[in-house]
Amino acid sequence: MFSKETYIQRRATLRNKIGSGLILIPGNHESPMNYTDNTYHFRQDSTFLYYFGLDLPGMFGVIDVDNNLDLIYANDVDIEDIIWMGPQKSVAEQAFAVGVDVSAPLEKLGQTVERAIKAGKRVHFTPPYRAENQIQLSNILGIKVSNIKQYASLVLIQAIVSMRSIKDAAEIAEIELACDTGYEMHITAMKMAHPGTMEQQIAGTLEGIALSKGTGTSFPIILTQNGETLHNHNHSFPLEAGRLMIVDAGAESNGHYASDFTRTIPVGGKFSQKQKDIYNIVLAANNKAFSLTKPGVTYQSVHLQAARVIASGLKELGLMKGDVDESVANGAHALFFPHGLGHMMGLDVHDMEDYGQIHVGYDNEIRPIDQFGTAYLRLGRRLQPGFVITNEPGIYFIPALIEKWEKEGINKDFINFDKAKSYLGFGGIRLEDNVLVTETGARLLGKRIPINPEEVEGVVAGH
């Protein structure tokens, strides 16, 4: 938790941006795994964390803009709770710690909202992504659960995005803690990348590191030799000599800030020439993207420059053909690089994605490009100092996609399909760093995880 003043200041800034009405910020609830009292690991809602800081289930924050008042609605524990959970601070004490002077039991929340609606006030909330919160808002507001998201407040979304996009020094320090843990996770994965080791054994070890240093991983670990599946959570195979293992894994700090790194490791510690050729293209795309990252530049343009590095490298290897710029304009690179270059990162690994990516990654000036591959780019708009973003180009050989494009003749002027088919079974390569946009350029967050092929080989070999 940050200082009380941080939360008071954030709520005051939000009040000023919104101008009038009532802002509802629901916290998350415990979520049952298989019966009520056996719950998933509790994760507080990030918006609630940002404005109210309290990491407890069953709380509801209200910012009454017109009356200049912040409130927390939650129930105090009773004697039965104390028997099972131990003594707990009262809601009033918890609220006071984050500069909120008024608290009340949850049952009073409905009346507060009803009064505001009767007085003709606008009630603002962001789109709820959890069923419990959708139902809670539906009950309070009298809107059908299925309609609740469409009543979310665009002005509130835009105001929060404008604040959360710019990370302050304390937030960056939290992200760097998560990066330090991420570094340790990835070095460990490299050291364990030997034939015969189960993917699961490595994934579990990384999970343990994340839990031992913070609140766990920032998203389910992606660790696989079948890296052509972009988000592959199947860790059930023994490592085979000569294959490539993608590890896309990050940690969450105790303050709930994320890291998100990807490295690709040769099982057994030696890249083949064929692997190294592809690896070096992805590395060049990563380095090029980093060199272009600075305030005022659109991340859409950086993504397209990375795509050009990939298309040009693949042309040199005979996998692509024709004019590089034309091939990228036609989206031909997306056969091999079918995702975006990166996303915002902060309290969420894909920061604020619950608000709708269009509001986070785009604006009136920079609109999404509706073309396969680039359409997945989650951040396109102009970069500003304080943005924390990922830089994660990749090259993959996806059998079903190659087959489809060849059959349908998609981008046939730019793709050498026979050559592409000779890479089936190759898997994929992705290299991801976390980047802070500074006043003058950018800096990598955390110590850079070994990335040059020789460095990675050295770590696997135990040097």
Q: Which residues bind ligand GLY (CB under 6 A)?
A: 219, 248, 260
In the list Mn ion, ligand GLY, none, the entry touching 219 (Cβ below 5 to 8 angstroms by class) is: ligand GLY
Long-range CB contact pairs, 443-446, < 8 A, 24+ = 444/290, 445/172, 445/175, 445/176, 445/179, 445/259, 445/388, 446/176, 446/179, 446/180, 446/182, 446/183, 446/259
Least distance in Å: CB of 342 to Mn ion?
6
180 is in the binding site of which of ligand GLY, Mn ion, none (Cβ under 5 to 8 A by kind)? Answer: none
Q: State the minimum distance, in angstroms, from the CB of residue 336 to ligand GLY.
A: 18
Binding to Mn ion by CB under 5 A, coded x per residue (else -) over 376-395, reads --------------x-----
**Residue 359 has which token pair?**
């509001």
Q: What residue type is assigned to position 227 of the chain? A: G
Nearer to ligand GLY, 134 or 259 (CB): 259
Closest to 349 in 3D by CA, of 443, 228, 442, 261:
261
> On the CB side of 21, how many CA atoms lie within 13 Å of its CA?
16
User: Which lies closer to ligand GLY via its Cβ, residue 53 or residue 446?
Assistant: 446
Instruction: Record the tokens describing residue 65, joined without a space.
Output: 């803009």
Closest distance of CB 392 from ligand GLY, Å = 6
**Of 116, 108, 163, 143, the residue nearest 22 (C-alpha):** 116
Q: How far is the CB of 418 from ligand GLY (least distance, A)?
A: 32
Nearer to ligand GLY, 44 or 217 (CB): 217
Contact 380, 368 (CB under 8 A): yes
Min CB(339)–ligand GLY separation in Å:
8
Give 55 or 248: the residue with its C-beta nearer to ligand GLY. 248
Q: What letter does residue 415 receive in the DSSP assignment?
A: B
CB of 228 or CB of 260, closer to ligand GLY: 260
Q: Minimum distance between the CB of residue 219 and ligand GLY, rounded to whole angstroms?
A: 6
From the list Mn ion, ligand GLY, none, pick the one residue 207 interacts with, judged by a Cβ distance below 5 to 8 Å according to partner type. none
Contact 98, 1 (CB under 8 A): yes
Nearer to ligand GLY, 70 or 354 (CB): 354
Is residue 224 within 8 Å of 391, Cβ to Cβ? no
**Min. distance of Cβ 250 from Mn ion in angstroms?**
8
Q: What are phi and psi of 74, to 5 degrees?
A: -170, 160
71 vs 247, beta carbon nearer ligand GLY: 247
Cα–Cα distance measured from residue 459 to residue 463, given in angstroms and rounded to the nearest whole number: 5
Q: Which residues from 248-277 bind Mn ion, rule CB under 5 A? A: 260
Would you tell me which residues interact with Mn ion (CB under 5 A)?
260, 390
